[in-house]
A and B are shown apart, each in its own frame.
Chain A
Amino acid sequence: MTGAVLETRGLEKRFVTHRPLFGTPTEVHAVNGVDLAIHEGETFAIVGESGCGKSTLARMLIGLIRPSAGQVLYQGREMSGLPQKQMRALRRDLQFIFQDPFSSLNPRMTIGRLVEEPMRAHGIGTPGERRERVGRLLARVGLRPEHADRYPHEFSGGQRQRIGIARALASGPKVLIGDEPVSALDVSIQAQVVNMLEDLKEEFGLTLVVIAHDLAVIRHMSDRVAVMYLGEVVETGPVDAVFDAPAHPYTRALMGAIPVPAPGARDSVAAILEGDVPNPTAPPPGCRFHTRCPFAVARCTRERPALADMGGGRRAACHLRDELPAFDTRAPEPGRTPGAARRFELWRTARSAGQDDRHRKTTQAEETQP
């Protein structure tokens, strides 16, 4: 880790949701004063529930949305004010993977053209070189070079997400930002794509920023995490530290709400968070979480807590962060039963024994599919 690749300072985004003929427009403060530093070579996760501003934040990180206030710095240079032309050049380094593999690929373009497009846009290579690179990229994401002549509708969701990843890699980016890159996929396909993203990160020396709501995927993939609630970062730090001992009551509630795939792992339902996320056009004063927080005191309703340093690279925005009772870890590690663990060992052995043979079958299976 050699310093921040991407940094945000006091980043804000307000959207106007209703503009009446007279009077003041209604605004949503989608992102409200976010300071983050993403280091080179790490996987940084941003987690939160719908409406917390994580997707807006991700789009601002690559300049798809202009911030209302604050700055985004890429390699120390401020991005927010850059003219279109320089912004284009920057996009070569910063690429985006979208959540929905069905709506993010132009249905009228062949896979080959889709993957080639970023290279043409940035004037990379000759047509021949580009074609060759398309073939290599498709092979790298587990598709076949012949697939270049087909159209998106001929592929399954998992394959389309692979195409989206090949396209994101085409310009030779340094940072890949994925907005829920695996959440639309079935679990077995999700595992394939998660493993592939990890391999690609190593191979191409990428920095990954992953936006997700699935905490288990985040814990598995990332080095550091930021938890968002109603447009603000409430907690950030190394993923193991945050997951083992979450400091913010909202992080705790999130952890407590995840169903664990082991019967009886969570026997009490006492920790369930009550109520809905407040309307973001009129967020509560003080700490935005106080309306749902089981620990809230009078101070929380008045004063907005700052994201304060807790040591060990951790920060949390809670007035009571030093006074909360210890978090009782709930998931049995590694979250599965001994009986199941033995079967996985068998599975693993059988998989690696039949790897070559299996590989052939896999490609065959993918061939017959579209």
Chain B
Amino acid sequence: MHAEHPRLLSVDGLSVRFRHHPANIVDDVSFTIGAGETLCIVGESGCGKSLTALALMGLLPKPAAQVAAGRAVFEGEDLVALDESRMSDIRGNRMAMIFQEPMTSLNPAFTVGDQIAEAVRRHRGVDRAAARGRAREMLEQARIPAAEKRLDEYPHQLSGGMRQRAMIAMALANDPALLIADEPTTALDVTIQAQVLRLIRQLQAERGTGLLMITHDLGVVAETADRVAVMYAGRIVEEGPVAAIFDDPQHPYTIGLMGSVPSLGRRSGRLETIPGLVPTPEAMPRGCRFSTRCPFAAAVCAETPALTEIAPGHRVACARAPIELRVAEDAA
């Protein structure tokens, strides 16, 4: 996998801490993304997936939250160590982000065309006419019908799906090497979601953009990811190629999560559930953070498990992996 994707971003030991909170909300997270590669981070609310993205973009709500440790090397620079002015040069230029709710990143007081053009002028120093031309070109690439007309419309005049496309157009206007997409289709209806996912995939393939996709939807993961990182309570608990994660889930949380999703096929009995609730930062369990909810938990889980390679490219942070072996040992 890595041979065909030259490394674009490598995150190493990233931790994010909130003031007055004892535990790291993002804890010792490491991953890499190659050019043209899609890494999906999947997890439930509060697992730290969005904070990871915001930390990379330098958009953490400061001073409440800050990066406590770690590096994130993107095109030779450590994003964590950059000052705000250098970060502004990179953000929206080499690296861009799209959000779940387009209205949070589109300014309601400016036309769609002006907003895209502004992003182009800020980073490319071209004149107004050229920037507007680029904006139109981007709307066309985002398959927005009547692009010329849309340029002069305000965000509220577009439908939800169109707004999401406009935001994608804006994010890609400067040909970023890395695109971060935080739940880009969660607010959309399924037929529109399918269109937007296809658009993201097509544009990514055309441009060789690296994509960090953050989602809670395992269906979206299966359809977009090259590799998957599963996050739970601030940590990556399992990471590997998409086929390995779905065919050979190793971490008990991954297994429980997949079992919780109803299938589109015929009903096969009750849904699996994961007992209990996600721990709050105030009551984070010692050692493995999933141990309080894990049916396989044992004494050894009181220590923090390291993310260990279990098959080529497939890493899991569980003292009980491989699980078949451990369960058989317990029985013996």
A residues near B, CB below 8 A?
Answer: 49-50, 156-159, 186-192, 194-195, 198, 213, 215-217, 219-221, 240, 243-244, 253-266, 269, 272-274, 276-277, 331-340, 343-344, 346-348, 350-351, 353-354, 358-359, 361-362, 365-366, 368-369
| A49 adjacent to B257 (CB under 8 Å) | no
State the interface size on chain B (CB cutoff 8 A): 64
A258 touches B264 (CB 8 A): yes
Given A350-B296, A358-B275 in contact, is the A340-B247 Cβ separation under 8 Å? yes
Q: Which residue of A lies closest to B262 (CB)?
A: A220
Indicate if B223 sits at the interface (CB-CB under 8 A). Answer: yes
Query: Which listed residue, A187, A273, A339, A353, touches B194 by the CB 8 Å rule?
Result: A273
Interface residues of B in 183-201 (CB under 8 A from A): 189-195, 197-198
Set of chain B residues within 8 Å of A366, measured between Cβ atoms: 276-277
Query: Known: A49-B190, A217-B262, A263-B222. Contact between A272 and B257, CB under 8 A?
Result: no
Least CB distance from B331 to A in Å reads 10
A188 touches B197 (CB 8 A): no
Q: Are A188 and B274 interface neighbours, CB within 8 A?
A: yes
Give the docked Cα–Cα distance between A361 and B242 (Å): 32
Task: Give the contacting residue for B264; candidates A157, A260, A343; CB below 8 A.
Answer: A260
Q: In the assembled complex, which residues on chain A have CB atoms less than 8 Å from the CB atom of B268?
A: 334
**Does residue B104 face the partner (Cβ distance < 8 Å to A)?**
no
Known contacts A347-B272, A348-B272; is-contact A258 B190 (Cβ 8 Å): yes
CA distance A256 to B192 in the complex (A): 12
Contact A276-B161, Cβ < 8 Å, known A188-B273, A331-B265, A347-B252: yes
Chain A binding surface, main DSSP class: helix
The one of A194, A346, A353 that contacts B323, using a Cβ cutoff of 8 Å:
A346
Q: Is the CB of B263 within 8 A of A216?
A: yes
What is the chain A residue whose CB lies nearest that of B217?
A: A259
A-B contact pairs, 21 of them (CB 8 A): A191-B273, A215-B264, A220-B267, A254-B190, A258-B264, A259-B193, A261-B246, A261-B263, A263-B225, A273-B191, A274-B195, A335-B265, A336-B263, A339-B248, A346-B327, A347-B252, A347-B259, A350-B327, A354-B295, A365-B275, A365-B292
From A265, A338, A344, contact of B222 by CB (8 A): A265
A362 to B273, CA, bound (A): 12
Distance in Å: Cβ of A105 to nearest Cβ of chain B: 18
**Contact at A190–B260, with CB atoms within 8 Å?**
yes
Bound Cα distance A256, B190 (Å):
9
A50 adjacent to B189 (CB under 8 Å): yes
B266 in contact with A261 (CB, 8 Å): no
B191 touches A254 (CB 8 A): yes
- Cβ–Cβ contact B255 & A343, under 8 A: yes
Q: Are B292 and A361 in contact (CB under 8 A)?
A: yes
**Can you name 10 extra interface pairs (CB under 8 A) apart from A351-B275, A366-B277?**
A49-B189, A186-B45, A189-B44, A191-B262, A259-B197, A259-B220, A333-B263, A347-B272, A348-B272, A368-B283
B44, B295, B323: which contacts A358 (Cβ < 8 A)? B295
